[in-house]
Amino acid sequence: MAKALVLEKTLDLKLRDIEVPLAVGPRDVKIEIRNVGVCGSDLHYFLHGKIGPYVVEQPMILGHEASGVVAEVGSEVTHLKVGDRVCMEPGIPDSSSRATMEGLYNLDPAVSFWATPPIHGCLTPHVVHPAAFTFKMPDNVSFAEGAFVEPLAIGLQAAKKAAIKPGDVAVVIGAGTIGAMTALAALAGGASRVILADLVPEKLALFKDDPAVTTVNVKEQNLAEVVKAATNGWGANIVFEASGGAKAFEHIFELLCPGGCVVLVGIPVDKVPFDIVAIQAKEARIESVFRYANIFPRALALISSGKIDVKRFISRVFPFAQGVEAFEEAAKARPGDVKIQIAVTE
């Protein structure tokens, strides 16, 4: 038995003892968990008990954005050793599936993903995880930064799917955690300017010192007019939709230049209509993102080099004993909060 943050049912989160499988296989590592980010999906399960077809029907440990220290290695593991500081990719695919063999392991229907029912997450002092999905962190990457690699990986996957060319102008709709990471990823990938739009000025303010980022409070400014002015009327090369808000899709193709690309990153709650003629008139390309594949090493390299700085987006860190409070605070959606983390062990 081990202490864990266990979601019993909707709005019923407890720090209690629960059985946690800790047998280390030959290709596994046992990890002492340090920092875990409170993700939007964790929060959605806490508040609503389900996301689409994934329903919490039995007690489930939350958490999937994590870093830690290797405490034990399996007999066949050679690239990690006890004491290594690591972060973990939370999805484990079926190694023999067609999707995995095609290099699309993030799309494997059989993937086991931390804190996706019925799979337990990592908000507990120790977990066992495949070594192949456990990545050693450079010495200058902190545990807090390591727990930010997972959301950054989504932004980098979006930038990869966009096929950014040096000098492109990108629009990012939504400045929450994923939108912020997408903006940073777009700049790292070669965009000369990112136009970042949101309703919350406190989130936009986190980019006030970024000379290549133009922030747009859509309550006060017309996003389409800002894009026109920044591109001499041509439109943005890429538009990343990272809010998941249905309203964002109403005029999204007006922001795009001819031949440009829209990348769907945010996940709407319901079906969203598209203006097909507007797409055809610009021969727009549409890409979409579902998690990530083969991205974690790149994310770590970008953080370590200083090319991407995630520290400013870590709003607060709660001790493990206050884990329930951390979720309650995250549920309040304070304007200044981007990412709340929980320090499981120290």
Residues 84-137: tens digit of each pLDDT? 999 999 999 999 999 999 999 999 999 999 999 999 999 999 999 999 999 999
Question: Which architecture, in CATH terms, is 2-148+310-343?
Answer: Alpha-Beta Complex (3.90)
- pLDDT the model gives residue 1: 87
Q: What is the pLDDT of residue 116?
A: 94
Q: Model pTM greater than 0.75? A: yes
Q: What is the CA radius of gyration of the chain?
A: 20
- pLDDT mean for each 10 residues of the chain (346 residues): 95 96 97 97 93 91 98 98 98 94 92 95 98 98 98 98 98 96 98 97 95 97 97 98 93 97 92 92 97 96 97 96 97 92 93
Instruction: Report how far residue 145's alpha carbon sits from residue 138's, in angstroms, rounded to the nearest whole number.
Output: 11
Could you read off the pLDDT of 172-211 as tens digits, one per residue?
A: 999 999 999 999 999 999 999 999 999 999 999 999 999 9
Per-residue pLDDT, 223: 97
Q: What is the pLDDT of residue 25?
A: 97
Q: What is the DSSP letter of 190?
A: T
Q: Residue 118: is the preceding peptide bond cis (ω within 30°)?
A: yes
What's residue 7's pLDDT? 97
Type and span of the H or E element at 182: helix 177-188
**pLDDT value, residue 52:** 81
User: Do 175 and 204 contact (CB within 8 A), yes or no?
Assistant: yes
Residues with Cβ within 8 Å of 331's Cβ and at least 6 positions away in sequence, in order, are 43, 46, 47
> pLDDT value at position 225?
98
Please tell me the predicted confidence (pLDDT) of residue 224.
97
Nearest CA to 145 out of 303, 340, 305 is that of 303
The pLDDT, as a whole number, for residue 268 is 86
User: Domain spans of the chain?
Assistant: 2-148+310-343, 155-288
**In percent, how much of the chain has pLDDT > 70?**
100
DSSP 344: -
Query: What is the H or E stretch that residue 153 is in?
Result: helix 149-162
Q: Give the homologous superfamily in CATH for domain 155-288.
A: NAD(P)-binding Rossmann-like Domain (3.40.50.720)
